[in-house]
Each structure stands twice: as structure tokens, then as C-alpha cells.
């Protein structure tokens, strides 16, 4: 299963092709959501033009960059531990410089330089184009910080270098920032206000990926359904746009349609959808195009109307059910996944039961479940005491996870006996004799390799399953090849 936060990827160092002209060595490590991994590809691309080749050996590196996540306290603690490790490496490699990128850089700003003596460079998510100047500062012996958030930076003009890629699937950023102001969430503070990327540059990136053999693209943003291009600028300023800009604006349904038409054999996915912004026209465009996958990641966070309100989620439980009903009516085999937070301030047993009953209604295909972690500066941290005791949070989280496991198995069992199109991505982790890929619903499918290869679309008969994986055997190429 593809995860919004893929635990197996956390901390991966990213390595790309070497350019012989380049003499300095960059080691870059990424944590957190897929946006961060995608941003590291932009950073590596910018620094490749500044004389840096990447290395996966930290002891060789002239520059170590860590792209950080602030979403929960645990994510920040992981980065602090990595900084301790870099400190020990510095004893062997004293010339090495250390930079912190991403959400933690934005949240802590120059405070980082005081708290972590090892850090030379602090760069927020909108300032990566300033890296060449900032690195010159560091080269001259000064610490350097740029955490300015931008109204229009989308990196649409930077061709990301695909790092550690399987050559089959890729992520393409379409929006940056978030305007939702969910009271638990640090993202609006660390990634700024929401802005969308020029659709033309998105289509060009998609076409280029197709030319280079990629077969699946996931359109990426904190809230993709809110995508709106009207010539550039913040989403919140759309109302000030000219009549012509408004009349020619491109929304998310239009963008999906454009992508699906531009590359009819490329598969498209998208993540993340916020229920309040997902409209029927998006679901109808999904139904219209066979190459848009039948899968929606639709975080709900809680099943209680009172908690949804306290989280500022802008929709009720009933409105969420209406959306689920519409999705299932228009695309009956659409898979749906969730994010859930257990133990938000003031959550009662009744509220928790509402979450469990919402899950019973939807029976999600899979989910990503977390205990509430208070984040400094958020509205919840300022207004609400983190009053649910740790053992209660943990028990509620465990109940949510257990119920999800039951539903995941129920959902994978629905695939038994069916023949489904699978895009082969790589060798199965558990067996060198099997391929691993995903069906349209985003469930991992493994099957014997035979003569197929990564990048092939194969029809697979599903013969067995666990709660996370489908096991099958190939019956031939699909007609998408
Ligand atoms: N933009 C998406 C949305 O609003 O639904 C996802 C944002 S976040 C990168 C991914 C998930 O982390 C959220 O959906 C939420 O479940 C979880 N999360 C965010 N803030 C949290 C917090 N303070 N404590 C625990 N989990 C949190």
C-alpha cells in the first residue's frame, strides 16, 4: 500500500546520476510526507547546477541536508536524533556543513542555529531557489537562514531530478501550501498559503515523464481538490482576479481531464483530498477516464460532529456520508482510505464511538491512524488543553487500528476471483520470483514474474489475499500496453 507517510522511505538518502563536472558532494536525507520527498528532488536539481553530485556516504559529504517534517512531535524528535548522528560524523569529516530544510526549518527558523550548534544552514520550503546564495554564505563561514514564505513559488520551472526512482511511478506537485487551518495542523504555518502551479508546466512534466518511460503519475498537494489556476497567485486572492482570469480559470476537475487526455495510457492518481473541497465533477471526471485510478485518499480525522467542528474541518459526519455515497454511486469499485486522529482535546468515549461507527459505515480499504500530538502555534495548542491522557489516546488509537485491519481484510477479500489490471513497479520484497505492483484501487498485488517486466500493465487473477496484499497469477498483458 502506498502511504502518505511511507515509513519504509523515512530517512532515505537520495542519490541521482553523477555529473563529471561536479566536484562537491551532497548527502540529502528526507522525512515526512511525499511532498518532502518531491521537494528533495527539486533541491537536488538546483544543487546539481551548483557543482554538487549526490552521495549516499555521509562521511564523504561536503554538504549534508535533512528535509524535515513537523507534523507530529515524534517526527521532530527523529530529526533531532539524526542531527546528533551528524555531529558524530563531523568528528571524522570536520569540513562537512549541515543544512536543515522543510517544515521544521520553517517552524523553528534561526532558533535552530541556537539549539543545534551543528546546523549551518536553515531553509524553509519556499526558499530552495536561494540555496546557491545561502551556500556561498556558509562557504564564507557565516550561518545562513531563509525561511521567507512565498505567494507564488511553485517550482513549476524547476525540472525535478527523479531520485532513487523505480522508473515507473512518479509524483508531480500541483499545489503548495494549505488554507484550511485545521486546528491541529502545523502545515499552514510551515508551508504557507495555498497556491497552484501552472497547468501547462504540469502537462509538460507529465509528457516528459511519459517520454522517459514512466507509466503512472500521482498529482500531489496538501489539498489537491482545491487546485485553482487563474494566472498565478494565492487561492485566497481569486476573488480579486479579473473577469477574464475567472472565466479561463482551471480547477482540479479540468486539470485531471487535461492530464488524462494528454497521456491516455498513463495512469493518474492524486493525493490528498479534503472532503470539503471534493466536488461531484471530480468524481465524474474520474469515472469518465479509464486511466484515472479508482482510489481516493479522503482523510476525515474524526467521526464526531463536535470534534470535527473543534478541528475546523468544515464538514459534518452526514456531509461526509453523502460524499461517500456519491463516490460509490458513480464509481462502485472506488477504494477509499482515511487519516484518523485519536484523542483530540476534549474527545469523549461517545466521540470515539462516533469515529468507530463512521468507519463501520465506510469500511475503508486502508488508513493512516495517529494519536493526537499537540503542535506549537496551532489554534488547538493555543485554545485547547491536550487533556486526553496518553493511555486513553493509545487505547482509542489501538481500537481504530484494529477495526481498520478488519475492514482492510474485508476489502481485499472482495477482489478474490477477479481479474485486475496491475502496473508492475518492482520485485516483491518477500520473493525474488514475484513482481509487485498495484491495481487501480491502489492495493499491492504480487504474482509470479514469468516474462513480464517493470512498467508492464498485466491482467492478474487474484487468488489469495492478506489484509494488505493481493496474491495472484498473470493471465496476459492488458490492452493498455
Ligand atoms: N492535508 C491533508 C488533510 O488535511 O487531510 C493531510 C495533512 S497531514 C500531512 C497528514 C495527516 O497527519 C493528517 O491527515 C492527520 O491525520 C495527521 N496529523 C496532522 N496533524 C496532526 C497532529 N497534530 N497530531 C496527530 N496527527 C496529525
Closest to 76 in 3D by CA, of 374, 368, 397? 374
| The residue to which cell 517526527 is assigned | 75
Q: What is the pLDDT of residue 2?
A: 32
pLDDT tens figures, 153-197: 999 999 998 887 899 999 999 999 999 999 999 999 999 999 999
Q: Does residue 335 line the site of ligand 1, with CB under 6 A?
A: no
Banded pLDDT at 13 (limits 50, 70, 90)? low
As a whole number, the mean pLDDT across the chain is 95
Grid cell digits, residue 360: 463501520
Q: What is the pLDDT of residue 345?
A: 98
Asked if pLDDT for residue 52 goes beyond 50, the answer is yes
Neighbouring CB atoms inside 10 A of 116's CB total 18
The CA 4 to ligand 1 mean position distance, Å, reads 10
Banded pLDDT at 20 (limits 50, 70, 90)? confident
Q: Whole-angstrom Cα distance, residue 320 to residue 402?
A: 22
% residues pLDDT > 90 (the chain): 93
Q: Does residue 182 line the site of ligand 1, with CB under 6 A?
A: yes
pLDDT tens figures, 343-383: 999 999 999 999 999 999 999 999 999 999 999 999 999 99
Strand pairing report for 228-229 and 250-251: antiparallel
Least confident of 63-72, 159-168, 434-443: 159-168
pLDDT tens figures, 314-354: 999 999 999 999 999 999 999 999 999 999 999 999 999 99
Nearest-CA residue for atom 12 of ligand 1: 71
% residues pLDDT > 70 (the chain): 96
Please name the helix (run of DSSP H) or strand (run of DSSP E) that holds residue 254, with its range, or none.
helix 252-262
Asked if pLDDT for residue 384 goes beyond 70, the answer is yes
Q: Which of 69, 104, 175, 339 to mutate to test ligand 1, by most ligand atoms within 8 A of the CB atom? A: 339
| The residue to which cell 493525493 is assigned | 271
Secondary structure letter of residue 292 according to DSSP: B
Q: Does residue 4 line the site of ligand 1, with CB under 6 A?
A: yes
pLDDT tens figures, 68-101: 999 999 999 999 999 999 999 999 999 999 999 9
Q: What is the pLDDT of residue 7?
A: 63
Q: Are 434 and 400 in contact (CB under 8 A)?
A: no
Task: List phi, psi (to 5°) of 385.
Answer: -75, 140
Q: Whole-angstrom Cα distance, residue 36 to residue 14?
A: 12
- Mean pLDDT along residues 289-310: 98
Q: Whole-angstrom Cα distance, residue 307 to residue 295?
A: 26
Banded pLDDT at 10 (limits 50, 70, 90)? confident
Q: What is the pLDDT of residue 23?
A: 86
- Mean pLDDT along residues 253-268: 98
Banded pLDDT at 17 (limits 50, 70, 90)? low
Prediction pTM value:
0.94
Length of the chain: 481
Closest to 128 in 3D by CA, of 41, 224, 195? 41
Closest to 12 in 3D by CA, of 135, 117, 219, 166? 166
Asked if pLDDT for residue 19 goes beyond 90, the answer is no
The CA 71 to ligand 1 mean position distance, Å, reads 7
Q: For ligand 1, what atom is nearest to the CA of residue 340?
A: 16
Closest to 269 in 3D by CA, of 401, 152, 27, 443? 443
Q: Which of 298, 307, 341, 369 to mutate to test ligand 1, by most ligand atoms within 8 A of the CB atom? A: 341
Strand pairing report for 121-123 and 457-465: unpaired
Asked if pLDDT for residue 284 goes beyond 50, the answer is yes
Asked if pLDDT for residue 58 goes beyond 50, the answer is yes
The CA 373 to ligand 1 mean position distance, Å, reads 10
Q: Whole-angstrom Cα distance, residue 292 to residue 270?
A: 9
pLDDT tens figures, 138-163: 999 999 999 999 999 999 999 998 88
Amino acid at each position: 500500500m502506498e502511504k502518505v507517510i511511507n515509513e519504509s522511505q523515512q530517512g532515505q538518502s537520495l542519490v541521482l546520476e553523477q555529473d563529471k563536472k561536479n566536484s562537491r558532494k551532497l548527502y540529502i536525507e528526507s522525512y515526512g510526507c511525499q511532498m518532502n520527498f518531491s521537494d528533495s528532488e527539486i533541491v537536488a536539481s538546483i544543487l546539481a547546477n551548483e557543482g554538487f553530485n549526490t552521495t549516499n556516504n555521509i562521511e564523504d559529504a561536503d554538504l549534508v541536508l535533512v528535509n524535515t517534517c513537523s507534523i507530529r512531535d515524534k517526527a521532530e524528535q527523529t530529526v533531532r536524533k539524526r542531527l546528533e548522528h551528524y555531529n558524530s560524523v563531523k568528528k571524522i569529516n570536520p569540513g562537512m556543513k549541515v543544512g536543515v530544510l522543510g517544515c521544521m526549518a520553517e517552524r523553528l527558523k534561526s532558533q535552530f542555529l541556537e539549539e543545534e550548534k551543528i546546523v549551518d544552514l536553515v531553509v524553509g520550503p519556499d526558499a530552495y531557489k536561494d540555496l546557491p546564495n545561502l551556500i556561498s554564505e556558509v562557504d564564507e563561514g557565516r550561518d545562513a537562514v531563509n525561511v521567507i514564505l512565498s505567494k507564488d513559488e511553485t517550482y513549476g520551472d524547476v525540472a525535478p531530478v527523479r531520485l532513487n526512482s523505480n522508473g515507473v511511478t512518479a509524483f508531480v506537485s500541483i499545489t503548495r501550501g494549505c488554507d484550511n487551518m485545521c486546528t491541529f495542523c502545523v502545515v499552514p504555518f510551515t508551508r504557507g498559503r495555498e497556491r497552484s502551479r501552472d497547468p501547462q508546466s504540469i502537462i509538460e512534466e507529465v509528457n516528459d515523464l511519459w517520454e522517459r518511460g514512466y507509466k503512472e503519475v500521482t498529482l500531489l498537494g496538501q489539498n489537491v481538490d482545491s487546485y485553482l489556476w487563474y494566472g498565478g497567485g494565492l487561492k485566497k486572492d481569486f476573488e480579486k482576479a479579473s473577469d477574464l482570469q475567472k472565466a479561463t480559470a482551471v480547477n482540479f476537475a479540468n486539470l485531471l481531464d487535461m492530464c488524462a487526455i494528454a497521456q491516455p495510457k498513463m495512469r493518474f492518481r492524486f493525493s490528498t483530498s479534503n472532503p470539503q473541497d471534493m466536488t461531484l465533477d471530480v468524481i465524474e471526471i474520474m469515472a469518465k477516464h479509464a486511466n484515472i485510478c479508482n482510489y481516493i485518499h479522503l482523510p476525515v480525522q474524526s467521526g464526531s460532529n463536535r470534534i470535527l467542528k473543534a478541528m475546523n474541518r468544515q464538514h459534518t459526519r452526514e456531509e461526509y456520508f453523502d460524499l461517500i455515497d456519491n463516490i460509490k454511486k458513480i464509481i462502485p469499485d472506488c477504494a477509499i482510505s482515511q487519516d484518523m486522529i485519536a484523542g483530540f482535546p476534549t474527545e469523549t468515549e461517545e466521540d470515539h464511538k462516533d469515529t468507530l461507527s463512521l468507519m463501520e459505515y465506510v469500511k475503508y480499504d486502508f488508513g493512516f491512524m495517529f494519536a493526537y500530538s499537540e503542535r506549537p502555534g496551532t489554534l488547538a495548542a493555543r485554545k485547547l488543553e491536550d487533556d486526553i491522557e496518553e493511555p486513553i489516546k493509545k487505547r482509542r488509537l489501538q481500537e481504530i487500528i484494529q477495526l481498520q485491519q478488519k475492514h482492510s481484510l474485508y476489502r481485499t477479500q472482495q477482489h478474490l476471483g477477479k481479474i485486475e489490471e496491475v502496473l508492475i513497479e518492482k520485485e516483491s520484497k518477500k520473493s525474488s520470483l514475484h513482481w509487485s505492483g498495484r491495481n487501480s484501487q491502489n492495493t499491492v498485488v504480487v504474482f509470479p514474474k514469468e516474462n513480464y517486466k517493470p512498467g508492464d500493465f498485466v491482467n492478474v487473477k487474484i487468488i489469495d489475499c492478506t489484509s494488505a496484499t493481493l496474491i495472484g497469477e498473470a493471465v496476459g498483458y492488458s490492452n493498455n500496453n
